Structure 1
Amino acid sequence: MTEHIARLDSRALVKVSGPDARDFLHNLLTQDVETLEPGALRFGAMLSPPGRLLFDLFLWGDEDGVMLDVAAEKRGALIQRLSMYRLRAKVEVATDQRPVAVSWPGVAEGFTADPRTAALGGRAVGERGANASEDDWQAHRLAVGVPDPARDVDDGTYPIEANFDLLNGIDFAKGCFVGQETTSRMKRRGEIKKRMLPLTFDGPAPAAGTEVLNGELRAGEVLTGRDGAAMALVRLDRLDGNLSVDGRVAAVYRPAYFPV
């Protein structure tokens, strides 16, 4: 099977180093940073104090700290946010100009398995000889049924609505992190009314914000997509029935990582 490799120009890197780097990030992010071994890769996020999603992050363990893989358009804002929290911590925050690469359907040589789900393939830092485009990768991601937090969320989205708890993006056993109280309460009490799920239909993707209807009832809204499929934020109590979008018959499907 041919491995596809693409460079993700939509992603960028931030290096956090220094003697306090791991403790500093561990207290901020949804993921366990203290046990992150050099070369290991984890998925996580930085949240606002009320628990809203600010940055989706891939965390690469380094000998002297952690490399953060973030949406390119948000790299400056991430650096600013980290600097705000730094205070007296002995850490340095700097950009790294190497690119991010992905491989699929498997984990190509020199890549590390995507920590969200094995179906996504692999991830790497640095040039890797691309033979496919980022658009090809986005089509694969959507086919697997994984949201793109950099494109599918707004400043009102909770990480659980974007399936971070199902995609290994939140360590509920690690202790405190910014936004932890709201996130843990939603998970513990089952207060999850909406989630991002893939939606299928015939024809081009409706505009972002287009209503998904269950009969005459609003069931959710379209986020981003392409011909025949889109990610949608949908109400879990209105998935069954006659769904439609933009006057077309639609269907929500549950990805393999999603609980039955």
Structure 2
Amino acid sequence: MPATRLVDRGVIRVSGEDARDFLQNIVTNEMDAVTPSHAGYGALLTPQGKIISDFLVAAVPEEERGGFLLDVPLLQVPDLMKRLKLYKLRARVALDDLSEVAAVIASSGGFSLPDEAGLVYADPRLPALGERAVTDRADVDSVVSAEPDAYHARRIALGIPDGGKDFAYGDAFPHEALLDQLGGVSFKKGCYIGQEVVSRMQHRGTARTRVVPVVFSEGLIPEMGVEATAGGKALGRIGSCAKGRGLALLRLDRVADALAAGQTLEGGGLAFTLEKPGFVRFPFPGEPGFGAAS
């Protein structure tokens, strides 16, 4: 059961008797669905609907003091802590940055993790990603046996975006980062920060830019961040890549126009094609219904 430590992840603990309601009122996902046996995936947005940080959220059992652990991109921890403290007001909530003492572990092959790995939970975004865990940093070496590249190669092959690599924090909307496809947004819960913008994009089908999987010719990959083009026109940016595959944030309407014109899609001088993952419900360029609400 190979596992890897994700050194680019931090941990925030949200505890106290108001912890669940506090998060429910500000984050994109449905917190009532988060239990010790079922983790969640969500984000905190700006009032303009852009992602400050996305995160996995795991419920801590009551016998272990309860509350929630947020599995967060390490570079976003300071900003997220600042925002959470801003919204705390009089809520009976404690916020603790555990990034110095806790580590995040993930299955590198989609398998289960051993019980001794810590607080273990299934990745809520996609079952094929397997399990993750938050554990004491001092104990992490006893369960880690694989390099992070193995995890990221699998993530990329499955089509799962990673913030900071495949979309930019403070600039991307949840639809662009596929949160609507991966259970990261509830369209049934009440208000949360940025909810009006997200709901408008959902109902009007205005999400023209999306992170999508791409396959490069000859198994080569370009550098992360290079421009994606077709016929000399910009389509977007290439994100993380591994083993001949990658993720790219693309204007899909421009991709459709390029394909209709018989133009080659390129990133860093390498030709690529789009590959639709099974979890995606919106139509890709060339499919029936493309251009309708997505």
TM-score by length of 1: 0.92
Deviations 1:84-130 (A, max 9, x none): 11111111101222211111222334342211111211111113611
Deviation at 1:235, TM superposition (A): 1.7
Aligned to 1:68, which of 67, 70, 88?
Answer: 70
1:59 is aligned to: 57
> Which of the pair is proportionally richer in helix?
2
**Does the CA contact (< 8 Å) of 1:239 and 1:252 recur in 2?**
no
Deviation at 1:131, TM superposition (A): 1.2
1:78 is aligned to: 80
1:114 aligns with 2:123: yes
Deviation at 1:50, TM superposition (A): 0.3
The 5-angstrom pairing of residues 236-251 of structure 1 reads 236-240=252-256, 241=259, 242-251=264-273
Aligned to 2:91, which of 75, 89, 92?
Answer: 89
Deviation at 1:76, TM superposition (A): 1.8
1:213 is aligned to: 229
1:19 is aligned to: 17
157-166 or 4-13, which deviates more = 4-13
Aligned to 1:47, which of 42, 45, 48?
Answer: 45
Aligned length: 258
Q: Does the C-alpha gap of structure 1 residues 15 and 39 become closer, same or farther in structure 2, counting only changes over 3 Å?
A: farther
**Does the CA contact (< 8 Å) of 2:42 and 2:179 recur in 1?**
yes
Question: For structure 2, which runs of at least 5 residues remain unmatched after alignment?
Answer: 284-294
Distance in 1 (CA, whole Å) between partners of 2:167 and 2:265 is 22
Deviation at 1:256, TM superposition (A): 1.6
SS in 2 for 1:77: helix
Distance in 1 (CA, whole Å) between partners of 2:152 and 2:215 is 16
Deviation at 1:145, TM superposition (A): 1.0
Distance in 2 (CA, whole Å) between partners of 1:146 and 1:250 is 18
Deviation at 1:39, TM superposition (A): 4.2
**Does the CA contact (< 8 Å) of 2:19 and 2:67 recur in 1?**
yes
Distance in 2 (CA, whole Å) between partners of 1:38 and 1:120 is 19
Query: Counterpart of 1:143 in structure 2: which amino acid?
Result: A
The 5-angstrom pairing of residues 1-260 of structure 1 reads 3-62=1-60, 63=62, 64-96=66-98, 97-103=101-107, 104-110=109-115, 111-126=120-135, 127=140, 129-154=143-168, 155-201=170-216, 202=218, 204-226=220-242, 228-240=244-256, 241=259, 242-259=264-281, 260=283
Query: Counterpart of 1:252 in structure 2: which amino acid?
Result: L
Distance in 2 (CA, whole Å) between partners of 1:247 and 1:93 is 46
Distance in 2 (CA, whole Å) between partners of 1:35 and 1:200 is 35
Distance in 1 (CA, whole Å) between partners of 2:242 and 2:78 is 29
Paired-residue identity, %: 36
Distance in 1 (CA, whole Å) between partners of 2:223 and 2:134 is 33
Deviation at 1:224, TM superposition (A): 2.7
Distance in 1 (CA, whole Å) between partners of 2:223 and 2:151 is 21
**Does the CA contact (< 8 Å) of 1:57 and 1:70 recur in 2?**
yes
RMSD, matched Cα: 1.8
208-217 or 5-14, which deviates more = 208-217
2:287 is aligned to: none
**Does the CA contact (< 8 Å) of 1:17 and 1:92 recur in 2?**
yes
Query: Counterpart of 1:223 in structure 2: which amino acid?
Result: G
Query: Counterpart of 1:13 in structure 2: which amino acid?
Result: V
Distance in 1 (CA, whole Å) between partners of 2:92 and 2:110 is 40
